Structure formats: C-alpha cells, structure tokens
Structure 1
Amino acid sequence: MDIRLAERVKALTPSTTLAITAKAKEMKAKGIDVIGLGAGEPDFNTPQHIIDAAFQSMNEGQTKYTPAGGLPALKDAIIAKLKDDQGLSYDRNEIMVSSGAKHALYTLFQVILDENDEVIIPIPYWVSYPEQVKLAGGKPVYIDGKESNGYKITAEQLQTAISERTKALILNSPSNPTGMIYSKFELEAIAEVCLKNNILIISDEIYEKLVYGSSRHISIAELSPEIKDQTIIINGVSKSHSMTGWRIGYAAGNKAVIKAMTDLASHSTSNPTTTSQYGAIAAYMGTQSPVEEMREAFEKRLEIVYDKLIAIPGITCLKPQGAFYLFPNVKEAALKTGYQNVDEFAAALLEEAKVAVIPGSGFGSPDNIRLSYATSLDLLEAAVERIHTFVDSKLVKS
C-alpha cells in the first residue's frame, strides 16, 4: 500500500547527532575501536538516592496516572528550586511538568504558533529548535551568533530580525553546542528589545548547573518582573542530575500558556511517567552534592582536553563556559588535509581515525564540529590524540 506522508514531516531534517551516533554504534558492534564524542548526556549514573526514591514509589503502589501537568509535589519542588536558584516566584498553575525538556519545547511551540508565525533562533542552535518550529507551522528566522562575539547574538541583530510576524525568541544559555553563556549586560539589552516589541522569550536553561570557572548562569527572567512575565523557562533534570532516560522536564511561565500546554499534553502523553516524577522530586529535594561532583569532573576534563585540542594544526576553539561540549572551528584543518568541507572531514575522522564527532552543519555552523566531553578523561585524551595524529598525517601527505 502506498501511504502518503503528511507534508509537515516531509520537510523535517533528520538529526545529525542521532545519525552519527548510530553509525558509531554500528561500527562498535562490529568490533571496531570507535571513540564516540557525540553524546549529549552525562556519563555518570543517576545518583543513588534518586533511584531509591523511584523504587520506593513503585513499591508503595505509585504506578498510576498523575495529573497531566505533573504531580503537585513535583511542581512544589520545582517552585522551590526556582526560588532558591533564581529568586523567582511561581505558583503551581505556572508550572507544567513534561516528558523531558524537549517535550516541553515541542508542546510550547504547538500552543503559541500559528501558520507562518516567526521564531528567532540564534546560530549555532540545538538541532531540534528549527524542526519543532516548522512542525508547529512556524517559520525559523536565524541570526548568526558571530564567533567573534562568543557565538552570541546582540540586541542590535535581534531588533533587525524582528518583523510583524515575530512571535518568540529562543535563548539557550549555557549553549548547546558552544558552551557559551550570556552575561547579565547582554541579557539586559536583549530583554529591552523583547519588551519593546512584545516578543516572547523562550529561555532554555537545561545546562544551568554545568558552569565553570568564574562564569555564572543568569536566567533572563531574573532581570525584572516585566521580563519574567514575558519569559517561559524550559528546564529539567536530564543534564543536571544525569537523568536523561527518565524524561522529566518542565516549563515555567505565563499561566495561560502553561494551561494550554497542559491541556495539549493531556491528549498526547496523558502524564509524564509517574515513577520518573518521584525520582525528580528526590533530585530537587535531596542532596545536591552529586550535581557538584559531576560539574567538577566535567570542569577538570575541560581544563585538560582544551589545551590539547587547540594544539592541533588548523583548529581553533573558544573555551566553553558551561555545558559539556567543545565547538572548535576546524575549517582550516579540513581544507589543509584535503577535504572540501567540514562534513567530509568529520566523516573521515569516523572512518579513518575512529573518532565520532558531530558536524557543525547540523547546528547551523558548517565550519565547526561538536565534541562532547561527557566521557572518561582517558577516552577524551585518546580521541584528541587520534584527531591530532590524523591531521598531522594528512598535512604531511599534502
């Protein structure tokens, strides 16, 4: 039977991250010694007290449906977290718990966008932002975050990109894929433009706990009550508490938007997984020492691997301030080793050097690659050494 697919899915761009990861796993299954640096998840197990709380909830019979927008107790834990960390006050009807932060974003776009509404997306961007906007009938409008400005956009760029169809701006700080963080000064300038033009701010803060050195994460919603009212915060426990597979995220903001999101979720997921919600309560209400231990481990890896990476000929890299990614510019290395573009260079790294990285083209930045340091230090050092050897060998031959 010839089944015609909906036009909205025909336009989707397959995930580059998933494609590279699948290829690396396939090679590993064949016994090939591949080092994968594509992972978007911590390599630590979920802290034991969270696992114990989830297990206890199952033993106590907490295995049934919950409210579509999440358990009241989890909403209260999220409210307490936002108050403690950002000094922000929310009510339960301003919180919606979702099946991961990605689901919160997807649901948000579905309830705020009409056909051809525009969403401004800074480049580099997380791969799912434009696809989710398109699935909701919206139109992505891109602003190039210049490498010279830390891959961040300016208020002046934002003002120029706004049209009568502009509905929202996405901010991701710390950023995936760059690891860069917007300063308070930069956020204030962007907030002023959004207020003046009545633009909704979608603040993706999923990496907020993974910040290094003297850098500090600031939520744009902290700046003023007016900005808070115009901001939807997206966050969750996936990265902060190494709970990627548990699929618990949340949205915090305008109660009318949150109600619409909750109503839509009631017809799609019914509710986030009950057991996972009890685990998330323990994540937010229990000890935070495992979060800090993980952050410290990532920072140590960054300090060691960064210097080794920028020592490779033709590779430059801004030092990340957060998250767990390096986003080096490898255009010169690609050209000097005989490849027409970075995509070809990344493919050769996998086939010949047996190192899996994500081409920057999937993030809107074709001159870069993304490397995750959410893996052991030994593997990281081995991977960077392989890349260095690969580049050196090609340079000698050329």
Structure 2
Amino acid sequence: MTASILSQKVINLNESASLKAAALAQKLISEGRRIINFSIGEPDFNTPDAPSLEAIKAITMGKTHYSNPQGNLDLRESICEKLQRDNALDYGTDEIIVGSGGKHIIYHAFLATINPDDEVIVPSPYWVSYPDIAALCGGKPIIVQPNSESLKLEAEELEKNISAKTKWVVLNSPSNPTGAVYTEDELQAIAEVLKKQPHVLILSDEIYEKFVYPPAKHVSLVNVAPDLKERTLIVNGASKGYAMTGWRIGFGAGSTTLVAAIKKLISQTTTCPSSISQEAAKVAFSETQPSIMMRDSFQGRRDQAVTILSTSELLGDIRKPEGAFYLFLNLEKIVGKQTASGKVLNMDDDVVEFLLEEANVSTVSGSAYGFSPCLRISFACSIEQITQGCQAIVDALASLKD
C-alpha cells in the first residue's frame, strides 16, 4: 500500500513536534541512552489519590458504559462550580461540553464552525497544534507576530490582521511555549479590538491556568469583557493542572449553540468521553491543593533552570516565564556557530540535534512554534534532572566555536 491512498489533508498535516521529540527521547532511552527529556509537556506528578480512587470505585460499581456525548451531568456541574470558584465565571451545564482532552474540544470547535477559506488568527509563538487543526478543518491559519520583548499578541497587530474572513482568534494564557501570562490591561486592549468585530469567535485556551507564578495572576478574557462571553470558547481540562494527561478529559465553556454543535460531532466521532475518566475528573475539579503543590514545585524548578542556564554567555538574559512549565530560550548568539567536528548550526533544529547528541538532552526547536531561532525546554521533571540537564546544555554550548 502506498501513500497515494492518503488524503491531501493528511499528507499536508504535520506531526506534533513536541510529541515527536518526546517519542524519539523515549526510543533512545529504551536503547540504553541516558537521555534527559526536556521535550515532554506534562507534569511528572502522579494523579492525586482522590480522583484515582473515584475511578476505581466507578469500575467496581459498573460505571463503564456509554455516557452523554456532552459529558455526564454531574461532571458538568463540577466544572461549573470550578469555573465559579476559581475563575469567577458563571456558566450553566448547557454551556459546558466535555471531550477527550482539550485538543479534542479545539478540533471539534473548529470543525463545527470553519467554512472553506475562513481565517484563524494564531499569535506566534504558538502551541504546535493550532495551525494544523485549523488547516485540517479547512481554514487558513494567519500567523501574527508578537511583541519582540513580551512575546505576546498586541492589540494593534491583532487589529491589522482581522479581515472579513476571520472566523477565530486564538488566545493562550499562560502560553505554551513561552510561559507568558496576559495581564488584565493587555486583555482589555485585545477585547476592545474584538468588540468591533462581531463576526469573530475567540478561543481562550487556559489549560495552564493552575501554573501561574506570583506576582502574576491568571485572568480570563471573559472576566475583563463579559460582553464577549457569547463569542468566546474557554478551553481547559484535567490534563495539566490535575496531572491527568493520560485520562483524556478536556472541556469547553461557551455558547449553547456551539456546545450543541460540538456535541453533535462527538456523537458521530468518539461517541462520548471515557466514563471512568469522567468520574475521576469530577472529583479532581473539586480540589485545589494538589495544583498548588505542583505550582510551588514548578516555580522552584523554573528558578533552578534559569539560574544554571544563565551561566552560559550564549543564552544571555533568560526570560523567566510567569506561567506554565516551559522556558523559551533565544538562540541568536548560538546559530552560526560550529561544533567541535566543524558542523555549522544554521538553525534551531540543528541546535536541538546538537544538544541531543552532545548533551543527551531532548528539547524542541522554536520553529515548531512558529518563532525562530529559539528552543523550548520543559521543566516539568525532577529537580535532579533539571540540574543535570541544564548543566549539560551549558557545557555543550561552551564547546562551540565561532
């Protein structure tokens, strides 16, 4: 069988760069290489006991059958309570849709709304999947460059890029890959632009909201602009903030019209979210302490990584992320240098390959996120791995020549 049987959409689709890098790291580890994996974007904590025990209870009680395509009512009630408690946002259960992860919700939201040639504004640096999901659903990704210092979308740039064809604007705070967190004033400026464009929908990806480091604070666009609530889909889930990546539970909070459309699609694709995972998530969303514990731990790991990496003259002043668990390093002083063997590092992909071979550290290039030359490092691993891996990066960079 040849590739000729495949659709052009799939042929054009990129594999997730972060998952690809993580898979390569795992392959090398299985072959005996001692690789420090800074490429994977998931907490290294185990799922807290309470949701895990609730899942076991669900199995013993026979809660293993099909559920509502929209998600079980009691889970949606728990999500509504979470949004009120944590975010001061009021949603009814008919405004909540549960899916098999946040990515699942984004895909179905785009599929439910995008017509051929509709445009989706994606600020760079972006999470790797936004442009590809938009294109897969028939849309045209419009990549908008950020403020060069903050790496955040500015209202002026947004306004210049909105057209009559714009269907969605994507916002991601805290950001993957930069860890940037939008302030209330920044969101207000963006909201003023969007208020003038009633045909535009807003995707507010808040999956990393639990990991915001003081004095920064997480604020949703809907908090600062309640009049945009009807056009905004908040995407969140259990994966990051509750250490439940493998349970595959995400949710969207939005208009009843959009929720009903996504529900219809889910009924024809995955049928419903996992019944057992929903029981676990119901309990997870009612808890806050495990997320606070993880956040405090990640803050210490962030500081350790920045301290070590800052000793390299080639990395310069490192931007300390306000949220998520990623460092986004500028490689301008590194691109163009040569390895000891004489190979020139012409782009950030070359630096990723160099660090994997010379430092035994797996990272992801900025090009995967639409912003080069940069490097994304996940510090969602042990402090020992961070210390060893960051020092290995510093030592490897020191071997480069002009």
* TM-score normalised over the length of structure 2: 0.96
Per-residue deviation, 1:61: 1.0
CA distance in structure 1 between the partners assigned to 2:170 and 2:310 by the alignment: 30
Aligned partner letter, 2:330: N
Aligned counterpart, 1:369: 375
Preserved contact between residue 212 and residue 218 of structure 2 (Cα < 8 Å): yes
| Letter in structure 2 aligned against 1:353 | A
- Secondary structure at 1:335's aligned position in 2? coil
Answering whether residue 279 of structure 2 is matched by residue 278 of structure 1, we say yes
Contact 2:147 2:154 in 1 (8 A): no
For 2:380, give the aligned amino acid. Answer: A
Residues 51-97 of structure 1 show CA distances to partners (whole Å, capped at 9, x for unaligned) of: 00110011111111110010000000000111112211111111000
| Aligned partners of 1:238 and 1:244 also within 8 Å | yes
Sequence identity (%): 39
Give the deviation of 1:213 after TM superposition: 2.1
1:216 and 2:222 equivalent? Answer: no
1:342 is aligned to 2:343: no
The alpha-carbon deviation at position 28 of structure 1 amounts to: 1.0
Pairing 1:378–2:384 present: yes
State the 1:331 CA deviation.
2.4
**1:333 equivalent in alignment to 2:334:** yes
Q: How far off its partner does 1:147 sit?
A: 2.9
Q: What residue is the counterpart of 2:292 in the other structure?
A: 292
Superposition pairs for residues 113-192 of structure 1, below 5 Å? 113-148=114-149, 150-192=150-192
Equivalent position amino acid for 2:130 in 1: Y
Aligned to 1:305: 305
Describe the SS at the equivalent of 2:330.
coil
**Equivalent AA in structure 2 for residue 299 of structure 1:** Q
RMSD across aligned C-alpha pairs, in angstroms? 1.1
Cα shift readout 1:261-288 (whole Å, capped 9, x = no counterpart): 0010000011000000000001012x32
Give the conservation status (yes or no) of the 8 Å contact 1:313–1:391. Answer: no
The amino acid across from 2:291 in the alignment is V
- Distance in 1, matches of 2:153 and 2:207, equals 19
- Give 1:39 deviation, angstroms: 1.0
Q: CA deviation at 1:240?
A: 0.4
What secondary structure is seen at the aligned counterpart in 2 of 1:167? strand
**Structure 2 gap ranges (5+):** 339-343
What do the CA deviations read for 1:148-179 (whole angstroms, capped 9, x no partner)?
1x110111100100111001100000000000
Query: Which residue in 1 is equivalent to 2:194?
Result: 194
Q: Aligned to 1:145, what secondary structure does the other structure show? A: coil
Equivalent residues, number: 394
**What secondary structure does 1:170 align onto?**
strand
Gaps of 5+ in 1: none
Give, in whole Å, the separation in 2 of the partners of 1:228 and 1:175. 21
Distance 1:92 1:394 in 2: 57
Q: Which secondary structure does the structure 2 equivalent of 1:319 belong to?
A: coil
Please show how residues 92-111 of structure 1 align to structure 2 within 5 Å: 92-111=93-112
Contact 2:191–2:225 at 8 Å: present in 1 too? no
Q: 2:361 aligns with which of 325, 348, 355?
A: 355
Question: Does the 8 Å CA contact 1:331/1:342 hold for their aligned counterparts?
Answer: no
Give the whole-Å Cα distance in 1 for the aligned partners of 2:146 and 2:13. 23
Instruction: Report SS of the residue matched to 1:328.
Output: strand
Equivalent-residue separation in structure 2 for 1:351 and 1:25 (angstroms): 14
* 8 Å Cα contact 1:98-1:271 kept in structure 2: yes
Contact 2:359-2:393 at 8 Å conserved across structures: yes
Q: Deviations over 1:213-261 (max 9, x none)?
A: 2000000011233121221100001000000000000010111000000
In structure 2, what is the Cα distance between the partners aligned to 1:353 and 1:55? 41
Asked whether the equivalents of residues 109 and 136 of structure 1 are also in contact (C-alpha less than 8 Å), the reply is yes
Deviates more, 1:81-90 or 1:209-218: 81-90
Contact (CA 8 Å) 1:343, 1:366: kept in 2 or not? no
- Match of 1:336, SS state, is coil
* Letter matched to residue 295 of structure 1: R
Distance in 1 between the 2:266 and 2:118 partners?
22
Matched, 1:387 2:388: no
Q: Which runs of 4+ in 1 moved over 6 A?
A: none
| C-alpha distance in structure 2 between counterparts of 1:93 and 1:385, whole Å | 50
The corresponding residue for 1:321 is 322
Aligned mates of 1:251, 1:167 — CA distance in 2: 18
Question: Aligned partners of 1:180 and 1:77: how far apart in 2?
Answer: 28
SS in structure 1 of the partner of residue 213 of structure 2: coil
- Matched residue type, 1:289: Q
| Separation in 1, partners of 2:88, 2:347 | 46
TM-score by length of 1: 0.97
Map of 2:341 onto structure 1: none
| Contact in 2 for aligned 1:313/1:333 (Cα 8 Å) | no
Query: Offset at 1:344?
Result: 0.6
* Whole-angstrom CA distance in 1 between matches of 2:334 and 2:239: 34
Is residue 331–residue 341 contact of structure 1 (8 Å, CA) maintained in 2? no
Once the two structures are TM-superposed, the CA of residue 389 in structure 1 deviates from its matched residue by 0.7
* Residues 135-144 or 304-313, more deviating: 304-313
